[in-house]
Amino acid sequence: MLTYTTLKDRPREFLAATGLTHDEFMRVLPAFVTAYTTCYPLDKTWQGKTRQRQVGGGAKGVLAPMEDKLLFILVYQKTNPLQTMHGLHFGLSQPQSNSWMHRLLPVLRRAFAALGMAPERDASQVAPSPLMLEGAPAGAMDGTERRRQRPTDAAQQTAHDSGKKKAHTDKNVLLINEYTSKVVYLSPPVAGKTHDKKAADEADLVYAVNSTLDKDTGFQGYEPAGVLTQQPQKSPEARS
């Protein structure tokens, strides 16, 4: 079974599973604990009712340690597994996994926001974002796809059927600060079949004046006003 205790002394596996080094994990943990107690006060039940028994009474859950709670939600965010498979790794059933995911995702968002690590979700706030201005207004844009459950509706099946990934996917546009490698902006999800440039156009990002933006061929033709864009070109040798 996957636990913080079994993983903390295995740095390569820890980074692969969570996307964080152990030091980064430990920096996030205090903010996560604070966010958890804010969202779910100790004197209240999960349903928000006054607790009848003392804190710590009753059966101990599998994810009782706060480190395991943070590990659980980070692994889910990093690897995007099926809920059944994720539950098997942590000794939980699929319904239990689903319940914990919905319980912990708001906590993780609150913790990252408190640390100033949460990406902007409002495209109009990208220009003044401290995440974007850290170092210099230089960004890199990319589209990212993740697998999703196959829709039952035929029209949705077609929209989410990504030929490149050969699967049904959702897509987001990411803007990353080139100096810090931090995610500055995360767009709302769109159907996986949506072209990268169209998704960027629909996001309608507002950039700082004189920003630079690296992009790949998926964003060819995307030229926001006041931004110097750079797109790598294939060498003549690669074309031949």
Q: 10-residue block means of pLDDT along the chain (240 residues)?
A: 92 93 95 92 71 65 88 93 91 93 94 90 90 87 86 82 79 91 90 90 88 91 89 68
Domain boundaries, the chain: 4-114, 123-233
pLDDT the model gives residue 91: 92
pLDDT the model gives residue 89: 93
- Model pTM score: 0.76
pLDDT the model gives residue 53: 66
Listed in sequence order, the residues at least 6 apart from 191 whose beta carbon sits closer than 8 Å to its beta carbon are 156, 159, 160, 170, 171
pLDDT the model gives residue 34: 95
Residue 227 pairs with which residues in a beta bridge? 211
pLDDT the model gives residue 159: 81
Contact indicator for 168, 189 with CB cutoff of 8 Å: no
pLDDT the model gives residue 46: 63
Structure tokens at 160: 């989410």
Compute the distance between CA of residue 147 and CA of residue 162 in angstroms, rounded to an integer.
9
Contact indicator for 231, 219 with CB cutoff of 8 Å: yes
Listed in sequence order, the residues at least 6 apart from 236 whose beta carbon sits closer than 8 Å to its beta carbon are none
